[in-house]
Amino acid sequence: MYQALYRKYRPKTFDDVVGQAQITRTLQNEVKTGKTAHAYLFTGSRGTGKTTCSKILAKAVNCPNAVDGNPCGTCEICRGIDDGSVMDVLEIDAASNSGVDNIRQLREDAYFAPGQVKYRVYIIDETHMLSTGAFNALLKIMEEPPPHVLFILATTEVHKVPATILSRCQRFDFRRISSEDIAGYLEKIARQEGVQLEHSAGLLIGKLADGGMRDAISLLDLCISRGGAVTAESVAQAAGLAGSGHLLALSRAFAKQDTASALEQIGNLHEQSMDMDRLCGDLVAFYRDLMLIKTVEHPERLVVALPEELEEMRQLAGQMNLSGILYTLSVLQETQNRMSRTANRRTELEMAAVRVCNPVMDQSAEAVLARLEALEAAVRSGAAVPVTSVPEQELPPNSRLEPDPAGSVQQNREKPRQRREEPAQEQAPAASPRPAGDSAVDLSAAKRFGPWQEVLGRLIKSNPPLFAALKQSDAYEAGDLILIDAKNELFFKLIRENAFAKDSLRDALMAQTGKRYRLGPYRPQEQPAQQQPDPLERLMESARQAGIPVEET
Ligand SMILES: Nc1ncnc2c1ncn2[C@@H]1O[C@H](COP(=O)(O)OP(=O)(O)O)[C@@H](O)[C@H]1O
Ligand SMILES: [Mg+2]
Ligand SMILES: [Zn+2]
């Protein structure tokens, strides 16, 4: 008879359990030294080994031939527990026996000494499903447990278990199993089954299973049943992993800001009966992956994709900047939300494509940031910037940099002059002398601002673009002033030009420290900015000298 692989390969001893060494080692020690608790709570996501360890523990405490805390697996008792013929080891599935009666019965039985074995073991699976009455009845026994009783409560949702019960249990949190550990175990199974399994295929299964061994083994089972060697491709097929070719193509059009091609592709996919809702969701996931590729060191551990696809995504991400990715992601997520409320999903997606391909039309902070970063890159590389894609004031033509010899006040210069007369509250004291009357800040007293990373952590949620611009930044504190040492000029531009950026940074500082800080750029005195000439900074400096509003104070 065919036996499902995940049943066939249920670990028989603590040593066989993968990826939960801290738990199994502790349990083994307790069994070995006879210091087991009266009640255990095993929690963690599904397929991580909770039921498996419950069974091993039930055998280990009762097996007369236990070695090193492990059950022998072959004696009458071990085999009896495995096949369910030992009545003193009882498995209760709370999902189907949530009634108070079952626990009442259990309460009566519990006081009788076990017949065949040392410990009467109650394994209560899906404990969180017990009714309030059942929990209360259970609590009564757990408050004064008979010495020969051992409870093992397993649950995926520990927050639904009453605190009164939790406090009487020794708790173990089962972790998601890493893709590498899963791949290793699958390779062992494949060898015993005489099946060829590629390492990359094992890793892909591990990622798809999201840390659950049971799902991983089931997927392997499915792949094996299709015959032949198990490869990354066959795994992708068996798992119904839709190829990401259309997502790559669409994203390439987005990156090139090719509106016509993007709309044509959406039209084609629509004709092929592709669900627009699904397509939008897949695009969100795809851009999330691009963001990961752009920001984390080992994205291959987090991104579920075939190796070749991952390589193509890497190349695509290499051609994009982070704020562009974040901008697209925000547009797509917004679209996804709107789609749930409208019948015309295709139009929604088409509008998203137009916005993504034409950030110039978009006034959102993310769109502005995406434009700024593109501009910055262009200025750095010395390439000309197409006038149509850049708002005028971003890159002033040379003529505007020249001081007006006639002294006539031009419309577009009036405002900046007025602005510059306001006290330069948030200018770096080191960069420019502070106006008289402003409280003097002793810069020599500036010290490293400790909770900076925590503040940045808050920004991830409140202002992702600003967070991105603050990558590899540092901060110093002098009085009520936070001086920011950012490697990315984009940050200074944002802070100068975008009130929301300033507010979100001040708010994050406030939330972290409870203090209202003023903000300023940090420029180490021994290393003036001129030592690292930056074309954009130079440009802005000339503009500043000409009275053009590049610095809002
Ligand atoms: N940590 C693990 N090591 C090895 N196999 C495991 C592990 N966790 C789960 N499995 C596999 O998955 C199957 C189901 O695991 P189970 O212990 O019932 O998971 P759950 O945590 O949902 O109770 C087992 O029969 C076994 O094949
Ligand atoms: Mg289970
Ligand atoms: Zn035994």
In the reported structure, the alpha carbon of residue 79 is separated from the centroid of ligand 3 by a whole-number distance in angstroms of 7
Ligand 1 atom at minimum distance from 9 CA: 27
Q: Lowest-confidence range among 129-133, 344-348, 398-402? A: 398-402
534 burial via Cβ count (<10 Å: 0-12, 13-18, 19+): middle
Which is more confidently placed, 294 or 401? 294
Determine the pLDDT at residue 439. Answer: 42
pLDDT higher than 60, residue 410: no
Beta strands per DSSP E along 281-331: none
Crossing angle for the helix pair 489-497 and 535-545, nearest 10 degrees? 30
Mean pLDDT over 543-548 rounds to 55
What pLDDT band is residue 545 in, cutting at 50, 70 and 90? low
Q: Please report, for residues 11, 64, 75, 211, 250, the alpha-carbon distance to residue 78 in angstroms, rounded to integers and kept in the order given.
A: 13, 9, 5, 29, 58
pLDDT digit string (tens) for 105-139?
Answer: 888 888 888 888 999 999 999 999 998 888 998 99
pLDDT higher than 50, residue 484: yes
pLDDT digit string (tens) for 486-499?
Answer: 877 778 777 777 77
Q: What is the DSSP secondary-structure string of 113-132? A: PPSSSS-EEEEEETGGGS-H
Determine the pLDDT at residue 547. Answer: 53
pLDDT digit string (tens) for 283-336?
Answer: 998 999 999 898 888 888 778 788 888 899 999 999 998 888 999 999 999 999
Ligand 1 atom at minimum distance from 53 CA: 17
Determine the pLDDT at residue 111. Answer: 82
What are the residues whose beta carbon lies below 5 Å from ligand 3 (ion)?
A: 63, 65, 71-72, 75, 78
Which of the 8 DSSP states describes residue 15?
A: G
In the reported structure, the alpha carbon of residue 251 is separated from the centroid of ligand 2 by a whole-number distance in angstroms of 41
In the reported structure, the alpha carbon of residue 457 is separated from the centroid of ligand 3 by a whole-number distance in angstroms of 52
**Percent of the chain residues past pLDDT 70, beyond the cut:** 80
Q: In which residue ranges of the chain is CATH 1.10.8.60 found?
A: 179-238
pLDDT digit string (tens) for 51-90?
Answer: 999 999 999 999 999 999 999 999 999 999 999 999 899 9
What pLDDT band is residue 398 in, cutting at 50, 70 and 90? very low
Probe target for ligand 1 pocket from 5, 10, 193, with the most ligand atoms within 8 Å of CB = 10
CA Rg, the chain, in Å?
Answer: 32
User: Yes or no: is domain 179-238 CATH 3.40.50.720?
Assistant: no
pLDDT digit string (tens) for 25-37?
Answer: 999 999 999 999 9
What pLDDT band is residue 344 in, cutting at 50, 70 and 90? confident
Determine the pLDDT at residue 135. Answer: 92
Determine the pLDDT at residue 178. Answer: 93
pLDDT digit string (tens) for 501-537?
Answer: 888 899 999 988 888 888 888 776 544 444 444 555 5
Q: Which residues pair with 447 in a beta bridge?
A: 477
Q: Which alpha helices (DSSP H) does 151-231 contain, by range?
A: 163-166, 179-193, 199-208, 213-225
In this structure, which residue's CA is closest to atom 19 in ligand 1? 47
Probe target for ligand 1 pocket from 13, 24, 52, with the most ligand atoms within 8 Å of CB = 52
Quick one: which ligand is closest to 72's CA? 3
Beta carbons of 432 and 424 less than 8 angstroms apart: yes
Report the distance separating Cα 58 and Cα 79, nearest Å: 12
Q: In which residue ranges of the chain is CATH 3.40.50.300 found?
A: 5-173
Probe target for ligand 1 pocket from 40, 43, 213, with the most ligand atoms within 8 Å of CB = 213
Determine the pLDDT at residue 97. Answer: 63
What is the CATH architecture of 245-365?
Answer: Up-down Bundle (1.20)
In this structure, which residue's CA is closest to atom 24 in ligand 1? 10
Determine the pLDDT at residue 385. Answer: 43
Determine the pLDDT at residue 527. Answer: 42
Residue among 175, 111, 141, 189 at smallest CA distance from 39: 141
Q: Lowest-confidence range among 204-218, 246-260, 421-435? A: 421-435
Which is more confidently placed, 39 or 344? 39
Report the distance separating Cα 488 and Cα 196, nearest Å: 49
Q: In which residue ranges of the chain is CATH 1.20.272.10 found?
A: 245-365
Q: Which residues pair with 58 in a beta bridge?
A: none
What are the residues whose beta carbon lies below 5 Å from ligand 2 (ion)?
A: 50-51
Homologous superfamily (CATH) for 5-173: P-loop containing nucleotide triphosphate hydrolases (3.40.50.300)
Sheet holding 39-43, edge to edge: 89-93, 120-125, 149-155, 39-43, 170-173
Within 6 A (CB) of ligand 1 lie 6-7, 9-11, 17-20, 46-52, 154, 177, 185, 213-214, 217
In the reported structure, the alpha carbon of residue 111 is separated from the centroid of ligand 3 by a whole-number distance in angstroms of 25
In this structure, which residue's CA is closest to atom 9 in ligand 1? 49
pTM of the model: 0.58
Homologous superfamily (CATH) for 442-545: DnaA, N-terminal domain (3.30.300.180)
